[in-house]
Structure formats: C-alpha cells, structure tokens
Structure 1
C-alpha cells in the first residue's frame, strides 16, 4: 500500500523545482484542489506558454480551451447541472476532476490565475445560459475577438458588449441586440478596432451612408449588408477628401443591385491594376476572405495616402473591398 507523499509539507525551496517541472495540465489540476494549492500554483509554476485560450458560453455549459505553444490543447467543460465534476478532453482522452465546491466563476478565476495568460483569443456567446454569465464576464481579461451568435439573447448580448467592448480588439455580430436606433448609434459610434456585422437587418435602425461615414472602426466588415454603388462612391470621395473616418484601414461590403464600375469610381481618379500590381497586391495577404477578385483600382488621397479598391464575385453577389495601404 502506498502512502501519499506530503507534498504541501515541504519547505518553499523544495517545492520550487517540483512545480517548475509540472506539465501545464497538472498545474491546472493542482490549482483546483484548494485555495492553498491555487496560490502555490500561481506563485511557483512556470508561466504556461500558450498559443491561445478560448471561451465558449452555451446554454448549460462553459467551455475553456487552452492550447499551449508546445503540446496538445486541453478543453474543460463546466456543466451547470453536474456540479460535482469538471470534464475535459486532453490528448483525445476524457478526464474528470472533482469539484471542491467551486462555482463556475471560481473555476475561471483559478484557471486564469495559473495560466497567467494576459488575454483570451476568443469569447463566443452561443445560446441562453442558465447560469450567472455576467459574473464570469467581469473577470475576463483582454479579448482578441468577441463573437455573438444569432441565438444569444438580446439582454446577454448587450451586457456582454457593455462589459467586454472596452477590452476587446474585434467584435463579430451575427445579431444586433439593440432595441432602437438610439441604442444602435451609441454602439456604432464607439471606437473599435475591428467590427464585423453579418446577416442582420440594419435597415430597422435606418442605417445609411451617414452611419458609414461616422464609423470609428479601423476595420469594418458588413457581410450580407448591401450598400448602393452611389453611396459607396460618396464614401470613397469623402475618404479622398479626408472628411470621413481617418482611422479606417479596411472595409468590406456587398454591392446592391447590378454592379457598374463607372458609378462606383466616378470622380475618384482611380487607376486600374496592372497584372504586376495585382500579383503584388495579392502577395501582401491583405484580405482574409474574398481573395480571388475580378478587378482592382488604386486611389490616392490628397495627402498622398494610397488605398486599393477590389471586387470579388460569389454567385450573384459582388463584394467590394477597400484597403488603405501602409
């Protein structure tokens, strides 16, 4: 019969090399045992070198995925209806850890403490959770991408935007949770690095070219949101004259109706891409999507700043991309 080793009875100097040799999954599991083990893991464990940490919030479960720089990712599932255990998947094996009476928020606090990761790659809200999501969102550090799905409730989506927008680089919205035009405008006029809106009816907020001109986003994608060519021409003209969003570096929108280059480019003094210029532009990996475009033009602002307008066709839709070159 083996006698348990009294690890916690060791002096601090003896504990240091033990914790330094722990794999990241062991350090996380150890931190969940008690407050004392959590504090020791936080202080003594070597920093976990992670590629990313993602959080997915669903109806009855919160999932955290930790992907170390070297090694297999760990996914932990915190189920609200099974409070005695935490399930996980690591190296294609299912694991279970006993819950020492912790709430989901406390699990998260310990996980973030021991990983010491300064930000999450993604927080995705998907569904109508039956647990206190807001208490969890309050402890989330910086977030690279906040993703709100269609089946997220308006109340949860608005609160998440309120809490996380100040610490989020990119916001992806598959629904706009605002009750009226005033709420939408307050959100729209915020400073945000990247905003992507997909498959939502902006017309109910009387969205028009003036909203586009007033946006403070650095990167703006209006996917499945159509704009007329005349409105886009006005937007590009304002950019050339420095009377629109000067922070803008990228815009993607749909063309409304039949596509006509002459209407879009009227008065812009645009220069059509040559074959060499097309290859040069593609080699910069400018766009994450719509990489196969059918035509492109350079336009130059009055201060000399260069931008490119390109077109991409998929089925019956033409996408228009605008990218300001460094």
Structure 2
C-alpha cells in the first residue's frame, strides 16, 4: 500500500478572517522555483521513509549530508545507478532499514563491498538478482536480510548451507529470510550439516531493535559448525513456495 503526504498552504486575506480561495495545481516544487537550496529542499528528520527515484538535476549530496538519522531508505526501480550508489554510500550509515527495488551494482565485487557496510536491516525486493547468489550474504554485516521477488531454487539453498558450514567469515548476520520457488522434502538437506529436527518453541532476540526485537518460532532444523557456531533453519509451505528463515544464534 502506498500513500502520499500532502502539504496544504492557506493564505489569509489582509483585512478578512476568511481563507482566500486557492486553485490547486499539479506542480513539482524544486530548488529552482522555490528559491531554496538543495539542502533546504531535503527531507525533515521526522519522515518515516525516504524514497530516491529518477535522476537529479542538481547535486543532492549536500541535502543527504544533513540527515543524521533515517528510519527507512527506499531505492526505487527507476532510480539512476549513479544516484543510487551515492545515496547508499552517504545514507546507509544513518539508516535503520535499506530497501532496494533495484540493485545498482554491476558486479559481485561492488555488491559485496556494499554488503560489508554495517547495515541493520536490508530488504531486497527485485527480480534483478541473476548475477548474485545466496553465498554473497555469508560476508554481509547486515543484521537482518530479507529477499522478496528473488528467484531461488533448492540448489541455491543447499549451496548456501554447505558454504555457511565451512565459512570462516565473522559476519554480523543474524537472520536471513527468503523463499524457494519449488517444492522439496525438508529432509533433503546436505548430509554434511548433520542437521537434526526439533519441535521445541524458541524465541530469537535480535541484538538491536529492527522491525521487531524478537521472533518466536517452533520446529526447524538445528545446525552446528565445527567452530561451535549454531543456526536454525525453518520451512513453511505457502502458495506453492517454501518460505525459509535462517537464524544464527549469538
């Protein structure tokens, strides 16, 4: 669901208490027709989500630099790659949640460099994912990663779990949420994991307040690496898809 926040301007007549009649027009307010600088046109600190779209006709870096705290940053599909990269570079450190409707990086090296920044919550909502794999998130420093509209198969899941089992990366990742677009038997997990099922109800607590501070779930399979790191993977079949959550315990 999308909604717009409107700005209403009321003009009082000099010698009358009534409001003056006004005509509403569809007009974009810019730094040129308002006389404001780029930083003055920037969003206020109370805005819940800041969406970046299109290609700017003026330098927005000064406006971005004025923001010290942002609940959510949205990179839209039609946002230019250069603007998207610059926005993420400047605002990621002060943003609680980053939502990508497009991935502006041309190769895995650039994408992994972005993933290594200390994000809290990364939400990727795009089909544009063919050049990347689940293994890219083994090095992420985001606490929570959620993938939507990302086409993943059973082989992607098995490769990721095997790679995580052998991984020596000290990632900040606590929760990875994604969907598998095919049905499969949950017991067909890689044998090397030595995963075992559990029916116990447990509560997972994030190290920081994200969209929620804790998550209660039951079932799934527990996994333990040779270095003692433990994780739990859960599955839920809905709408001919497998919804998967991968929790890494502290």
Alpha-carbon distance in 2 for matches of 1:219, 1:180: 22
Deviations 1:156-211 (CA, angstroms, capped at 9, x unpaired): 212211221233343210101234455334334444333221123221x3x23542
3-state SS of 1:177 partner: coil
Does the 8 Å contact 1:220/1:250 carry over to 2? yes
Deviations 1:39-72 (CA, angstroms, capped at 9, x unpaired): xxxxxxxxxxxxxxxxx9x9xx998xxxxxxxxx
In structure 2, what is the equivalent of residue 79 of structure 1? 29
Deviations 1:11-54 (CA, angstroms, capped at 9, x unpaired): xxxxxxxxxxxxxxxxxxxxxxxxxxxxxxxxxxxxxxxxxxxx
Deviations 1:137-170 (CA, angstroms, capped at 9, x unpaired): 1211133332112232223212211221233343
Tell me which protein shows more helix as a share of its residues: 1
Offset at residue 322 of structure 1 (A): 0.5
Q: How many residues align?
A: 224
3-state SS of 1:135 partner: helix
Does the 8 Å contact 1:239/1:245 carry over to 2? no
What TM-score do the two structures reach when normalised by structure 2?
0.68
In structure 2, what is the equivalent of residue 70 of structure 1? none
Alpha-carbon distance in 1 for matches of 2:168, 2:139: 10
What TM-score do the two structures reach when normalised by structure 1?
0.55
In structure 2, what is the equivalent of residue 267 of structure 1? 192
In structure 2, what is the equivalent of residue 313 of structure 1? 237
CA RMSD of aligned residues (A): 4.0
Offset at residue 296 of structure 1 (A): 1.7
Question: Aligned in 2, Cα 1:246/1:215: closer, same or farther, shift over 3 Å?
Answer: closer
Alpha-carbon distance in 2 for matches of 1:244, 1:315: 34
Structure 1, unaligned runs of 5 or more: 1-55, 64-77, 85-100
3-state SS of 2:193 partner: coil
User: Which among 154, 168, 174 is matched to residue 243 of structure 1?
Assistant: 168
User: Which among 123, 142, 146 is matched to residue 50 of structure 2?
Assistant: 123
Does the 8 Å contact 2:235/2:244 carry over to 1? yes
Question: Aligned in 2, Cα 1:308/1:181: closer, same or farther, shift over 3 Å?
Answer: closer
Higher-Rg member (1/2): 1
Structure 2, unaligned runs of 5 or more: 8-27
* Match runs of 1:95-106 below 5 Å: 102-103=36-37, 105-106=39-40
Offset at residue 281 of structure 1 (A): 4.2
Offset at residue 131 of structure 1 (A): 5.4
